[in-house]
Chains A and B, each alone.
Chain A
Amino acid sequence: MRVVGTVLAATLVALVVLPMVALVLGAAPADWVAALRHPMLRPALGLSVVSTGVSLAVIVIGGTPLAWWIARSPGVAARATELLVDLPVVLPPAVVGVALLQAFGRRGLLGPALDGIGVHLPFSPAAVVLAQVVVASPFFVQAAVSAFRGVDADGMIVARTLGASPGRAFLTVALPLALPGLAAGAALAGARAFGEFGATLVFAGNLTGRTQSMPLAIYTALESDIGLAVVLSLLQASVGVALLILLRMSSVRRP
């Protein structure tokens, strides 16, 4: 029984790790040189880094008060909102992309209104950010809600009786206590945003130098140059891993 379990577990590990190993082995030095000079790389990497930074900022700035409210409010509205913001996790990204088009596209729900003030979201860098925000925010909000639920309610009452306004009690007690959870959630959301593909392709398109983020550049490279695709994939993976390590480290440090 134990042997069977070990074999099954090892098989799964192999299935997960083998592609990564193949990826690392698949890049010849010549591929690296060619890829690093390729005109597609810089704009794609630049767009990915900047758009992920912007979406992460949007997610954290909006998601923190949202998560606090969800964690503290006993009402039905909070439970319903909690469910709604989780929705993108179970929706395929392509569906999110179509939904975004239906909302912000030229003929979408808000399309005419946006058109009236001269804003055209689809197939713009802003669309890349929007797609990332929708797809990645549940990961941050979920983590933040559970971190805030862990903050002792009595401690918050004590802070208030000691003269702290609600805002100060939040900043000096709740936020520091929830910070490790918030950072872990931000790391997950950042990684998810950085790898966003499906919703971006549908809603923002694949325009080199404008909406072509790294995952889309990899997709494009695959059609012509597998070596380029492999190197781009490795770059994408390493930036993602670096981001994760950085955020995890910052969450471990004690205040």
Chain B
Amino acid sequence: MSVWIRLHAQLGTLALDVALDWTDRPLALIGPNGSGKTTLLRIIAGAARAERGVIVVGDRVLYRSVDGIDLPSEERHVGYLPQGHGLFPHLSVRANVAFGLRHLPRAERLSRVRVALETVDLLALQDARPSELSGGQQQTVALVRALVTEPELMLLDEPLAAMDATNRRALRSVLGARLQGRPAIVVTHDARDVAALGADVCVLEEGEIVQRGSLFALRADPQTAFVAEFVGQGTAG
């Protein structure tokens, strides 16, 4: 599935101008704080407004300003993982994962949830509340909850940010495996995430994409101080 994005949005004083297209794999989005990464994800998810542009996933037009197409979030088939997981604290793990499967018959819904939790070894915790899980387990459940609805594009906002080293390594390999071959945008501050995902990197600074390429290419010729800093940190990991 290919993704085609052209967006212009005004966020206060920051003008977000983005052109992205890629096919069937995760794309790592990096950039300093305040460069517009989270807003970009929210615009694609349909939770924030763009001034103009186009978002096409596969053969589906999610947004196209020229002819006024602007699908609501629930019709975009996009999986969104916000910073801090966004699990519903009043629902059990099972109910969280089942949330997006309401259209399915009960038996099928439950079996899908069971299989999904089994593959990440969290079936034993299906009756727990999110607050009873570790940070890594919470992120994993949030990831499973999004994936179980089979979204056509995954959007992950710093999925490994609030994690200790052990959890981070474990979840990094889960992410690598589960996002393999899928269109996804993963916001990260860590070059090791990029390597684990086998992703191309896209650098967003002050609302504009300043460089794009493989980790290797970025390392060979960093275009900005931020990129140099980012790939420098990667060589240490």
- B42 contacts which chain A residues (CB < 8 A)? 157
A19 interfacial by beta-carbon distance below 8 Å: no
- B84 contacts which chain A residues (CB < 8 A)? 152, 154
- A35 contacts which chain B residues (CB < 8 A)? none
Q: Which residue of B lies closest to A175 (CB)?
A: B90
Q: How distant is the Cα of A103 from the Cα of B50 in the complex, in angstroms?
A: 44
B80 interfacial by beta-carbon distance below 8 Å: yes
Q: Which residue of A lies closest to B75 (CB)?
A: A163
Q: Which of B70-95 contact A (CB under 8 A)?
A: 72-74, 76, 78-84, 86-90
B37 interfacial by beta-carbon distance below 8 Å: no
If A162-B145, A173-B88, A176-B90 touch, does A157 touch B47 (CB 8 Å cutoff)?
yes
Q: Which of A138-186 contact B (CB under 8 A)?
A: 152, 154-155, 157-166, 172-173, 176-177
For chain B, give the interface size range: 20 to 34
Partner of B82, one of A158, A164, A255: A158
- A165 contacts which chain B residues (CB < 8 A)? 72, 74
- B222 contacts which chain A residues (CB < 8 A)? none
Which residues of B come within 8 Å of A, CB atoms? 42, 45-47, 72-74, 76, 78-84, 86-90, 99-100, 102-103, 142, 145-146, 149, 151
| Among all A-B residue pairs, the 6 with the closest Cβ atoms | A162-B100, A154-B82, A160-B73, A158-B86, A157-B47, A161-B80
Number of A-B residue pairs at CB separation under 8 A: 66
For chain A, give the interface size range: 10 to 19
Which residues of A come within 8 Å of B, CB atoms? 152, 154-155, 157-166, 172-173, 176-177, 255
**Interface pair A164/B86, CB less than 8 Å apart:** no
Q: How distant is the Cα of A237 from the Cα of B47 in the complex, in angstroms?
A: 48
Q: Which residue of B lies closest to A166 (CB)?
A: B72
Q: Which residue of B lies closest to A169 (CB)?
A: B74
Partner of B86, one of A155, A172, A176, A255: A155
A158 shortest CB reach to chain B, Å: 4
